[in-house]
Amino acid sequence: MTSLEDEVDPTTSEREDGIALADSVVMREFVAETVLLDISTGQYYRLQGKPADMTAALIELGSIDAAAAVMGGDIEDPEDITRAEVVGLYHKLSALQLIEDHQSKDLE
């Protein structure tokens, strides 16, 4: 299993381009789940398993293509299917205003 920690500089907390958490959202990863909390609304979202891993990859790597490449190394699905799953999750997170994308050119 590829670790995202091996792929990302952990000191980078804010991203000026690419995908990032919305300003009012915090993310915490726990052993069994990841929680996204929108502090402006009080709404929180629990993610478990592959969706939690894909969300972490999107935020830490900042792009759909990079997240799909890492996730493609972790599971046995072909990368294009994994990319489709990452794009689907990206759209859900974006619709909930949990993420911001400062450069969405890898959506095509």
**pLDDT digits over 72-100, tens only?**
865 566 656 788 999 999 999 999 999 99
DSSP string, 43-98: -EEEE-SHHHHHHHHHHHH-SHHHHHHHHHHHSSS-HHHHHHHHHHHHHHHHHTT-
**pLDDT digits over 38-49, tens only?**
999 999 999 999
Q: So what's the pLDDT on residue 2?
A: 39
pLDDT at 24 > cutoff 80:
yes
- pTM of model > 0.85: no
Residues 17-40: what's their mean pLDDT? 95
Higher pLDDT, 81 or 104: 81
